[in-house]
A and B are shown apart, each in its own frame.
Chain A
Amino acid sequence: MKETTEDVMRAEYLAFVGRVSASLSHEIKNTLAIIGETSGLIGDLLEYSPPPPDWDTFPRFKELLSSIAGQVNRSVTIVTRLNRFAHSMDDPVVSLELNELLQDINNLAQRFANLKEVRLKTHLSNGRLTVQTDPFRLQQVVFGFIDRGLQTAPKDSSVTITSGQTDGLAQIVITDEGPPQAESINRQVSAPQATFEETEGKNGVALSVLGLIAAQLGGSIEAEDLKPRGNRITIRVPLESQ
């Protein structure tokens, strides 16, 4: 597909957002490193200079330091995810391992699933699935359908991300247990242009936009109803040619 001025401007915009986000996450990590080392030093000092035996809050101090260390590690994991996400905006086309990208999206979407009280699960293929694509746009499509599934799935149900390949195409399947809506989804993802009217709810996604992005990536989207309830969304994108 020929790049238009709008495409180039959008790529530059994303690269700018990505660069600033990556820089900020780097700074947060540096701050976390200082917090981690400082609490570690306090722990070391307590260890190397044992307190008087009558200091009965000593175990509590150690417990609190351990809690700080745990929260620092958790924050580092979150910031690392943010950093990887930000770097996905760096280049419009890269060669990437699809299962790693899906695992990242799964991690990013877990909080949304928790808020909806829905389980978000992955069943990723064992083999490598290498695709040459725009990582940010592919994440946008996959996340959009996970989000749609979470919005419509009943409490305590599951949304599952599965990966595989068929006929030279990588396949990402997102299943949910919400009301069957395949006909509506297929109509929207094949719409010739995007409209904001199709946005599902306040924070939802315009499925027509996801369909257009998938087409720009050389891929396709297909929805099927599941019996008695649920939807299976299959996103196909070309595997990297050998």
Chain B
Amino acid sequence: MKKLSVLLVDDREEFVTTLAERLMLHGMEVETANNGEDALGILKEKAIDVAVLDVIMPGMGGLEILERIKNTHPDIQVILLTGHGSTKEGIEGMHLGAFDFLMKPVDLEELIAKMKTSVQGTHKE
């Protein structure tokens, strides 16, 4: 069965590599990027099911990446990560087409559950 293919985008390299390793241990294929340009570059090369984007990053933020993904790859599900105590950016992201949002630090089980739910009907794991 095909593994879930995930793209993690966060400017904190330690965070993204650690989370990627954990997701791989849970049977997923994971690509990582530390900025928007690299993330969009990966999408040209690889088939991705779910993109997990940090909202606040230097340069291109998560909401801008989300808009670009939805323009070029509308089938990719997007989950936003926000570090703020407010849900404002998350709700804005859902208006822009994100599947859902989670507050950082993320609960791994919750993130995995959200990713699986987001691709239900489009992906057979």
Contacts and interface: CB of A to CB of B under 8 A. Distances in A.
Contacts of A36: 105
B56 A33 contact: no
B25 A83 contact: no
Contacts of A80: 85
Given A26-B84, A40-B108, A83-B84, A34 B56 contact: no
B110 interface: no
Contact of A48 (B15, B19, B25, B104): B25
Interface of B: 12, 14-15, 18-19, 21-22, 25-26, 56, 83-86, 104-106, 108
15 contacts: A25-B85, A26-B84, A30-B15, A30-B104, A34-B14, A37-B19, A40-B18, A41-B18, A41-B21, A41-B22, A44-B25, A45-B25, A72-B105, A76-B105, A83-B85
A38 B18 CA distance: 6
Interface in A149-188: none
A36 B22 CA distance: 12
A30 B22 contact: no
Contacts of B22: 37, 40-41, 44
Given A80-B85, A83-B85, A32 B18 contact: no
B2 to A, nearest CB: 21
Given A33-B12, A76-B105, 7 more contacts: A26-B56, A33-B105, A34-B12, A34-B14, A37-B18, A38-B18, A41-B21
Contacts of B108: 37, 40
Interface of B is mostly: loop
Interface of A: 22, 25-26, 29-30, 32-34, 36-38, 40-41, 44-45, 48, 72, 76, 80, 83-84, 87
A87 B85 contact: yes
Contacts of B106: 33
A25 B85 CA distance: 9
Contact of B86 (A29, A33, A37, A87): A87
Nearest to B85: A83
Closest 7 CB pairs of A and B: A83-B85, A33-B105, A37-B18, A36-B105, A80-B85, A33-B104, A29-B83
B83 A26 contact: yes
Contacts of A22: 84
Nearest to A86: B85
Contacts of B12: 30, 33-34
